[in-house]
Each structure stands twice: as C-alpha cells, then as structure tokens.
Amino acid sequence: MNKVTCDMAMSIDGFTAGPGQSLENPFGEGDVDRLTQWMIDEAELHKAEIADITAAGAYIMGRNMFGPGRGAWDLDWEGWWGDEPPYHAPVFVLTHHEREPVVKQGGTTFHFVTGGPEEAMRLAREAAGEREVAVAGGASTVNQFLAAGLIDELRLHVAPVVLGRGERLFEDTGAFTLEPVREPTGSAMVTHLVYRVVR
Amino acid sequence: MNKVTCDMAMSIDGFTAGPGQSLENPFGEGDVDRLTQWMIDEAELHKAEIADITAAGAYIMGRNMFGPGRGAWDLDWEGWWGDEPPYHAPVFVLTHHEREPVVKQGGTTFHFVTGGPEEAMRLAREAAGEREVAVAGGASTVNQFLAAGLIDELRLHVAPVVLGRGERLFEDTGAFTLEPVREPTGSAMVTHLVYRVVR
C-alpha cells in the first residue's frame, strides 16, 4: 500500500488558514503570510522539505483548496494554481458537484471526485502506482482523513505566529498519538516536525 | 525589569490539560501523562529545560494549579505540591478568596492574591529581585498574561500527542508574533520550542 503523507503549514496555535478565505485572500484574513513565507524567503534552506511536499505520485485536496467557489461549478474558473501547478501529478478534488477533469501543464490534472474521501483515496492510490499519496489540504479535509486513520505521516511546518482564529488542524479528529520520525529542524521562520501517525 | 518567562507542556493540538481536572486527575482526563512524561523518563536528557522551569525568583499561578477547590478555601488542604514544592521561591496564587500564606519546606511560600494579574505581577517582580518571574500556569492564567502582554519568553514543551479536548493554550489571547530564541531541540517524547513574545 502507498504511504500517505500530509504536509501542513500551521501556526503555533494550530491554524492553517485565517477566516474569510476568498478569491482575493486564498489563505483568509490575518497574518497568514507567515505560515508559508519560509517557502519563499528561505527556499534554498528548506529545499528538502519543499521537495518532499511535491514528491507524491498523486494528491487529494478539498474543493476550497482548488478554488473559492461553492455550489455549481463556474467552468471558466480553473483553480488558483495557474497554468503549471506545482503538483506534476494527478490531483483528486473532493466535491459534491461533478465536473470533467481539468488538464494543466507539467503533468497536473485535476480530477473531481464526488464519492467522498474513501473513493478519492482509492483513485489516488491507483494513480500513484508505488509512489506516495499526499493529502494536500485544507484543514477540514486533512481532519477528515486523520479521523478516518488514512494518513501515515504528518509533516507539520510550524510558523512562530499566533493567529487566534481561522481553520484549525486537529478539529474533531479525536485523540491519537504521534511518533517523531526525525529530529525537529528549522529556522527563525519555521520549525519542521515530522510524525508517524499511530492509531 | 524582570524577565517574565512561561514554560508550558502542550500537546501538538494546543492543550495543556484534559477536561475534568480534579483531585484524582490534576491534569484532567485523557492521555495527559504524555504531556509531562519526558520530565520523568528522560530527566537527565532534558535537565537543562527542567532546570530552567524551576529557575525563577518568583512564580504566579492560577488557583486551579494550586488545588482542585473552588469557592471558599478548605484550609486543611494545602495544595497538591506536597511538603517540598519544586519552586523554592515565593508563589503568588490568583484567587477571589483571601487566605493567609502557606509556608512549605525548601523556600516555597504560597501567597494568595485577590487583586488580579497586574497585582500578582507587581508582587512577584518585587519578590524576585533581579531574577526571572515565571507564570507557571494553567492555560487560562497564561492566556490572561499573554493577552495582557506580560510574558517575555514562552517555552513550549510539545508532546507528540493529539488530545482533542481540554484546556487550550492561546485561547482568546489575540494574534501576535513569536521569535525563536534558539534552535528546536528534543527527543521522541518532546520538542522544546523557545520563543520571545513580540507584541
């Protein structure tokens, strides 16, 4: 079985995005740039972690991570990932509304899955071959997969900021134990914590 | 001015104790032993961090951290810290109910402060001389002091466990920024993160 990974950029108080996510503010309101600024300002320093984030053979994401729309699809809107998304692999987007796949440059194709998390996982495993499957986010999607015991390795990238509100990781996941896979590393902008999920 | 420190043992999802704290379960229900087990099983490995926790010249704590009682004092109950508490310094306990100081062995005296956080801080600074003042907990007390901008250095001892419920750090503290003071360190049982609070 494929290893299932999940990388999440999180504030020290557990938020992965602010409230009020929108087309203009994909990460919501508040000091949310701090969650991912290390990927830009310190790309060289964290290149191993960044490479891991985009190493999977298939991805699963919630609809909110594809775009800000809700309800029926606006087919002119093809997600906020641009012409060449960083995935270079099939991406399975959870949604209640059917849609034909959206093919992008560089090997990324967004497939729209209406059968729920288990169906998305089945399709992603199939597409990934022997490579990893990554649950890409956002928080509510990751929380569903954590609650279902479907994530093997959780890689938290913890930014030194208290956001105080927003989308919270570990909400309604139930209690469980983690096992550090390696020593924590990081910089003044982020701490990388890699855990195996024990259920 | 004295440096004000705060050491908190926290789960990765932000809890410092479970729900239902009582005489029998000072840390509440759930897998809460994991929060502090490193202090026992790996005392030698983490001796520097443990020494820091008990290095202050005066301490402030919420009433719940002194004992499980609420309302008027039961004077026969002298707290759950035993005959020789680990503080070896004056401890100022926040309460709405006046009480004479409780003197313990080894230099620890519990003083009961009814004037609120600012009054406790004034008394603790006075008692600490030039040494640090430490806000010892629990979460709701620490959150009050964080919200009031009264903590300079936050030392989080993060255990690899998701508790899912309980007393949450950073609840109602508002948003603020942290600045790592040193590299993260730790073991399979705990990650130590030391931050300067920037407001």
Q: Report DSSP letters for B6-61, one per residue.
A: EEEEEETTSEEE-SS--SS-TT-SSSTHHHHHHHHHTTTTTHHHHHHHT--SEEEE
Residue A179: what are its φ and ψ, rounded to 5°? -135, 115
Q: What is the pLDDT of residue A1?
A: 85
Identify all chain A residues contacting B178, using CB atoms and an 8 Å cutoff: 12, 160-162
Which of A156, A160, A175 faces B164 most closely, judged by CB atoms? A175
Give the helix/strand (H/E) hosting A161: strand A161-162
Residue B107 contacts residue B81 (beta carbons within 8 Å): no
Residue A22 pLDDT > 90:
no
B174, B179, B184 ranked by CB distance to A186: nearest: B184
Cβ distance of A193 and B193 shorter than 8 Å? no
SS3 (DSSP) at A52: helix
**Gap between the Cα atoms of A47 and B91, Å rounded:** 47
B170 neighbors B14 (Cβ within 8 angstroms): yes
Instruction: Give the mean model confidence (pLDDT) for residues B14-26.
Output: 91
CB contacts < 8 A, A to B, total 97
Query: What CA–CA distance (Å, rounded) separates B167 from A187?
Result: 29
pTM: 0.95
Domains and CATH numbers, chain B: 4-19+27-68+82-198 (3.40.430.10)
Distance from CA of A69 to the nearest CA of B (A): 28
pLDDT of residue B139: 97
DSSP-assigned letter for residue B107: G
- What's the pLDDT score for residue B70? 85
Distance from CA of B13 to the nearest CA of A (A): 6
Nearest to A164 among B173, B187, B191 (CB): B173
Q: What six digits make up the tokens of A118?
A: 């288990």
What radius of gyration do chain B's Cα atoms show?
16
Tell me if chain A has a CB within 8 Å of the CB of B191. Answer: yes
CA angle B121, B122, B124 (to 5 degrees): 60
The SS3 assignment for B140 reads: helix
DSSP letter, residue A125: H
Q: Of B34, B170, B187, which is closest to A162 when you measure between CB atoms?
A: B170
Given a cut of 90, whether residue B11 has pLDDT beyond it is: yes
pLDDT tens digits, A34-87: 999 999 999 999 999 999 999 999 999 999 999 888 899 999 889 889 999 999
| Amino acid residing at B165 | R
**Are B159 and B31 in contact, with CB atoms under 8 Å apart?**
no
Q: Does B188 sit within 8 Å of A179, measured CB to CB?
A: yes
* Residues B135-188: tens digit of each pLDDT: 999 999 999 999 999 999 999 999 999 999 999 999 999 999 999 999 999 999
